[in-house]
Amino acid sequence: IAFDLESPTVLPPVQHSYFGTSTIKKLLVRFVEQYFTVFDSGDRQPFIEIYHDQACFSMTFQNASNSSPFMRKYLSQSRNLLKIRDPNLEMKLFKYTKLSVVAHLNEMPPTQHDTNSFQVDLFMAQGNLISFTLNGIYKEFSSNRSSSHLVAFSRMFLAVMQPPTLCIINDHLTIKEPTRAQLKAAFASPAPTPSPSPVTVPQGSLSP
């Protein structure tokens, strides 16, 4: 006869996404599609319409032994509070107000997100306030678009629901080197052929 001290060794299965209610899912799916269409368009200025006056943004780079020099260039922009010793830098890497956030997003390199890689988790919904994360892969291009690098990311938003859109308050980006599985699966599905139904994006967002 033994003692019942055996500890569990089985992990619960990973689920793809969690959207909460169907109403929120509809809003989020639409928002995510539009947001990254603008983000990848080359002109992120239209975001001025959807960020809150007191919006904030910061990013961290999760460095690892396998990180490439390409990724390591982000060490200087990473607001990693475990590493930063200079309080002024800590403040400087925190982008505050709509203008400052949108200007910063606009200065980030050109990207193409693999929307098929997205996993969305709605982890807070209180009244019209929601918070959710997006995990996936994007391609970062050099400024003349001659080369690109795959980046794994986790993005977190806190936003006010204003159907049919959202007003973003907190925005955080974590980036890291993709895993082998992510590299293999990235952009595996063919890019969607231009559909006859127009995609509604904020005006001017698709201009070069």
* Binding residues vs another protein (CB under 8 A): 7-12, 14-18, 20, 52, 54, 56, 58-64, 78-82, 90-91, 94, 96-97, 100, 119, 121-124, 129, 131-133, 135, 152, 154, 156, 158, 160, 169-170, 172, 174, 176, 179, 181-182
Q: Rounded distance, CA 41 to CA 198, Å? A: 15
User: Minimum CB separation from another protein for residue 63, in Å?
Assistant: 7
Q: Considering beta carbons, is residue 7 or 146 the nearer one to another protein? A: 7
Q: Considering beta carbons, is residue 135 or 148 the nearer one to another protein? A: 135
What DSSP letter does each residue of 122-182 carry, written as one string? EEEEETTEEEEEEEEEEEEEPTTSS-EEEEEEEEEEEEEEETTEEEEEEEEEEEEPPPHHH
Q: Rounded distance, CA 59 to CA 154, Å? A: 10
Q: Considering beta carbons, is residue 173 or 206 the nearer one to another protein? A: 173
Q: Considering beta carbons, is residue 8 or 69 the nearer one to another protein? A: 8
User: Minimum CB separation from another protein for residue 86, in Å?
Assistant: 13
User: Minimum CB separation from another protein for residue 31, in Å?
Assistant: 17
* Number of residues written out for the chain: 208
User: Minimum CB separation from another protein for residue 171, in Å?
Assistant: 9
| Spatial CA neighbour of 115 closest among 155, 147, 149, 80 | 155
How many C-beta atoms surround the C-beta of residue 40 within 10 A? 16
Q: Considering beta carbons, is residue 1 or 11 the nearer one to another protein? A: 11
